[in-house]
Amino acid sequence: MEHNNEKLHGYFRDDGTEINPELVPKPSLCVLCRKDDNPNEEIPCILTRADQMGEPEFICYAFEPKNKK
């Protein structure tokens, strides 16, 4: 869907730049998270990863270990 040549769906940075979720790498921390592969968490997880692309360290305050004891 487009409105005045602007996309109205997908993922976008604050400046309007589109984010291709296929090109956002998944840090190893995400693989260990209980929310990994949860469709309800897909949007916040992709946005968190995209926001930190290129940073030396990935930090996720929503991280929950899969094997929480």
- What's the pLDDT tens digit per position in 11-57? 998 898 999 999 999 999 999 999 999 999 999 999 999 999 999 99
Q: What confidence tier does 3 reach under pLDDT thresholds 50, 70, 90?
A: low
Q: What is the pTM of this model?
A: 0.79
How confident is the model at residue 7, as a pLDDT? Answer: 58
How confident is the model at residue 1, as a pLDDT? Answer: 42
Q: Is a pLDDT exceeding 70 seen at residue 6? A: no
Q: Taking a C-beta distance cutoff of 8 angstroms, is the pair 9, 40 a contact?
A: no
Q: Taking a C-beta distance cutoff of 8 angstroms, is the pair 27, 58 a contact?
A: yes
Amino acid at 24: V
